[in-house]
Amino acid sequence: MDDLEKAILIMFDESGTVDSELKQKAKDYCDKIKEEQAICSVCIEKLCFSNLVQVQFWCLQTLHEVIRVRYSSMNLDERYLIRKSVFSIACFGGFDDKSTVRVLEGPAFIKNKLAQVLVTLIYFEYPSVWSSVFVDFLSQLSKGAMIIDMFCRVLNALDEELINLDYPRTPEELAVAARVKDAMRQQCVAQIVRAWYDIVSMYRNSDEELCASVLESMRRYISWIDIGLIVNDAFIPLLFELVLVGGLSEQLRGAAAGCLSAVVSKRMDPQSKLPLLQSLQMRRVFGLVAQDSDSELVSNVAALLTGYAVEVLECFKRLNSEDAKGVSMELLNEVLPSVFYVMQNCELDSTFSIVQFLSGYVATMKTLSPLRETQLLHVGQILEVIRSQIRYDPMYRKNLDILDKIGREEEDRMVEFRKDLFVLLRNVGRVAPDVTQIFIRNSLATAVGSSSNWNVEEVEAALSLFYAFGESINGEAMRTGSGLLGELVPMLLSTRFPCHSNRLVALVYLETVTRYMKFVQENTQYIHMVLAAFLDERGIHHLNVNVSRRASYLFMRVVKLLKLKLVPFIENILQSLQDTVAGFTSMDYTLKELSGSEDGSHIFEAIGLLIGMEDVPPAKQSDYLSSLLTPLCQQVEALLRNAEVLTPEEAPQKFANIQQIIVAINSLSKGFSERLVTASRPAIGLMFKQTLDVLLQVLVVFPNVETLRSKVTSFVHRMVDTLGASVFPYLPKALEQLLVDSEPKELVGLLILLNQLICKFNTLFRDILDEVFPAIAGRILNVIPVDALPSGPGSNTEENREMQELQRTLYTFLHVITTHDLSSVFLSPKSRSYLQPIMQLLLFTSCKHKDILVRKVCVQIFIRLIRDWCAMPNGEEKVPGFQSFIIENFATNCCLYSLLDNSFEFRDANTLVLFGEIVLAQKVMYEKFGNDFLVHFVSKGFPAAHCPQDLAETYCQKLQGSDIKALKSFYQSLIENLRLQQNGSLVVR
């Protein structure tokens, strides 16, 4: 063994006994040898005399690399040596009499590598240099199975490396592939096909594996060779015979089916394709798919039949003659029962899309109105396919019921997978509505009659079909219960499935009941059945918490829809929900469980909607509300009384309880209108005020518990809507408490609450705003930076994001104040000291903020303040110093200099809106300040921006005119001109 062989063995060693350093040295040595001029001769010699497969593999790999990289620089002798040697090895085992090693006797990976080397030579040399390669190979096939096997490997490698378009190819590779295929068609394809036929005929009884390999190679080539070479009286009968003969191996029979699939799928003109498909007499193989569905043969035959059906359907769509359509439909009708069977029972080829094929077939049915008996039968089979496809696999039943990680993934996958199938169901429903409804009724009836808990998946699928079917029914049909709906909905409502305890079944049942609620709205005799479904163990009292919470939400939607019709049932409903209501506020919730939109609080919203109606007698209404609010408030009061003795272990649970109570009361209040609680039944309003009093104590006792502050703030929002102006006496205390030790995130919540109050009450809110504004302004100006927030790497911190949010909300707050006639708040004696810092902040932001929409808001605030605080020219100054601040600072910095920066992008839609506001600001300044503004702007601002005199004069004319559009257009072109002349010396002050 020489040094090279030793190095190769070390390099490929996988025993773990060779250290990495030695391996690296061996690799370096081998790489160095690769660079030698005579490397090809070295490799060929090793191939002929070394029995070590590692050495053989390295030599073949090296030859492959060297030919690919150095072929153009090799001399003719070297190329000839490689060609002759490699071909000799591929056909016999050596290339001279001294050779002792036969590579073809080695493992498959060596033979595949050898085939790859041969294909690389074909890439460069066929047909111009080595035109006889295929013919030479064909002449060697008589030597036996070893050479035939090698020939198949070469053809397979040629397909994979060059011809097959399933792999991405460079333009050069595509050109070479075209060259090789053209030459092969002209020179040797017919001989290769003849060889395939002869080999399969000769070896079918003695070497089935070899025959399967030959057919596998042949399958790859059918797509681009002359189809007449395969579709003839010799080859097609042979292929069908191989598929149908029971004694042969599945591998061989499956390979023959694969060739027939390639024939069927060959791209052809439909007028030629249809006779070909007809001539195949495919019915011969229909029976094979009913055998063992897991076998390789069945999956190959399934691919053949589905491919055949796709092609026949394509012919039907593309051919216009009645005869051709008739033939296509006949062939389709013949194959479809087998295709439907395949769809339900077999693993399908990944290239075949069930939904795509069935959608295409259903689309053709639209042209066949009225449907014949055969098509109606097919509709039923399509519906069966849909039902079988949407069924969950029972192996996931437990995962889906407890909804662990696997269950969640499977549910998400199925939701996505079902989308297209439900679209298909709707299309089938439109083509054959009667058949679809009968199918759904029968599915539901079978599910209803199902006595075993093992039918979870069937029941869930039947209910899902009924749910999805509802999407295609219009409102009128739903209300009247047209078709079979009048029978199906009562059947659904009266059903208790044995597997109702299963999460999926329970959820889809409730969703389906909710979907058909418009029918119940018109047919009120079924209301008691709806209530039973939601209130018993099928819904809100289901053992699975996910089901009971979803039931609470859906019940709330049902109450919204039926509302008045439920008044007679209120007593019974409240009685049924007593335990649920009590459980909601006393359960051992963790804070994590409290999050999310379905936390169970919807049951309180449903109760609020029921008892908040004016149709409920006042005394009853007071009793109902008191029976709910009193115990909830008492729980909070008890927790507040014992706050001092709370241990750190108890605190999270107690906070969670208070949080739940606030959420419950909040949800409950949504059912009561402002008119009812303030005008028609003030006693109800008084109860909510007392509740607000109790809950505001939470802020006093627990001022630093963020979750509680957030929930109380949310409740104050709610009470603003519910109690209207009668909430005013409670606001100063609430706002004062919300300001205590508030962080930026909490300040945002407070500003949003104030925005709601200002928008709802306008100037009525002035006195309270006058009181609280100084404290709010002081707190915010204390934490917010005057200049820009940090940006760039490392600036995307939680603290920075909260500060940005506070900044944005502050500008919205100031905008809301000014646009609701409350700008006088800034001028009150207590707030006056904050006026200058607020103006400076607004000025900086209007000029430099990165968010264009924030800048626009600031400009709008200035426009409004100019209108509010400034009289007409020469009038008395309302706010001393404000006019000069606007003219000297805002006008030049925001309305001129900030626009000259290249970051002001006129092509951006938001920027154009900001620009419009800036032009409007100039117009308003001219209206209010007259020449004071114009002289300063033109004589101080324009010269600093190097504005020519003639353009400055045109600007004055446009500003003094009445056409704001013309002013805007001129000012944009002026700014763009000034930018071209600007020397970068302007700085926004």
Contact (CB, 8 A) for 405 and 391:
no
- The mean pLDDT of 18-36, rounded to a whole number, is 91
Q: Does residue 192 form part of some domain? A: no
pLDDT in tens, 653-664: 889 899 999 999
Residue 588 lies in a domain: no
The mean pLDDT of 959-987, rounded to a whole number, is 83
Spatial distance between the Cα atoms of 494 and 538, rounded to a whole number of angstroms: 11
pLDDT in tens, 225-234: 999 999 999 9
Residue 595 has pLDDT above 50, yes or no: no
User: What is the CB-side half-sphere exposure of residue 391 using CA atoms within 13 A?
Assistant: 19
State the virtual CA torsion across 663, 664, 665, 671 in degrees, nearest 10: 110
Predicted pLDDT at 716: 95
The answer to whether residue 48 scores a pLDDT higher than 80 is yes
Closest CA to 758 of 825, 830, 713: 825
pLDDT digits (tens, 9 = 90+) for 484-522: 888 999 999 988 888 889 999 999 999 999 999 999 999
Contact by Cβ (8 Å): 915, 965: no
DSSP H or E segment with residue 446: helix 433-448
Above 90 in pLDDT, residue 408?
yes
Q: Is residue 863 part of a domain?
A: no
Calculate the alpha carbon distances from 760 to 666, 712, 754, 764 in Å: 19, 19, 10, 9
The SS3 assignment for 513 reads: helix
- What are the residues whose beta carbons fall under 8 Å from the beta carbon of 432, sequence distance 6 or more? 365, 371, 376, 379
Q: Number of folded domains in the chain? A: 1
What is the rounded CA–CA span in Å between residue 604 and residue 666?
Answer: 8
Please provide residue 347's backbone torsions phi and psi, each rounded to the nearest 5 degrees.
-75, 125
| 147 pLDDT more than 60 | yes
Domain range for 666: 614-741
Taking residues 323-332, what's their average pLDDT? 94
Task: Tell me if 619 is assigned to some domain.
Answer: yes
Q: Return the pLDDT at 255.
A: 96
The C-alpha atoms of residue 321 and residue 890 are separated, in whole angstroms, by 78
Burial letters 694-726, b for 16+ CB under 10 A, else e? bbbbbbeebeebebbbebbbebbbbbbebbbeb
Q: Which of 131-135, 831-835, 888-892, 942-946 has the lowest mean pLDDT?
A: 942-946
So what's the pLDDT on residue 495?
Answer: 86
State the chain's mean pLDDT as an integer. Answer: 91
CA 156 – CA 150 distance, rounded (Å): 10
CB 635 within 8 A of CB 585: yes
pTM for this prediction: 0.80
Lowest mean pLDDT among 125-139, 288-302, 559-573: 288-302
Q: What is the tens place of the pLDDT at every residue in 896-916?
A: 999 998 889 999 999 999 999
692 inside domain? yes
Share of the chain above pLDDT 70, in %: 95
What pLDDT is stored for residue 171 in this prediction? 93
Q: How far apart are CA 193 and CA 134, in angstroms?
A: 12
Does some domain include residue 834? Answer: no
Q: pLDDT-derived band of residue 628, with 50, 70 and 90 as boundaries? A: very high
Question: Is the Cβ–Cβ distance between 487 and 437 less than 8 Å?
Answer: no
SS (H, E, C) 10-52: HHCCCCCCCCHHHHHHHHHHHHHHHCCCCHHHHHHHHHHHCCC
- pLDDT of amino acid 96: 55
215 and 258 in contact (C-beta within 8 Å)? yes
In a domain, 828, yes or no: no
Q: What is the pLDDT of residues 753-789, one digit of tens each?
A: 999 999 999 999 999 999 999 999 999 998 887 766 6
Backbone angles phi, psi at 245, to 5 degrees: -75, 120
The closest of 116, 118, 109 to 88, measured between CA atoms, is: 118
**If you write DSSP's letter for every residue of 135-162 in order, what string do you get?**
HHHHHHGGG-HHHHHHHHHHHHHHIIII
**Per the domain annotation, does 266 fall within a domain?**
no
* Positive or negative: CA dihedral 473, 474, 475, 481: negative
Distance separating alpha carbons of residues 369 and 46, to the nearest angstrom:
74
- pLDDT band at residue 301 using 50, 70 and 90 as cut-offs: very high
Query: Is pLDDT above 70 for 339?
Result: yes
Dist CA 422 CA 426 (whole Å)? 6
Q: How far apart are CA 656 and CA 662, in angstroms?
A: 10
Residue in 940, 985, 950 with CA at minimum distance from that of residue 970: 950
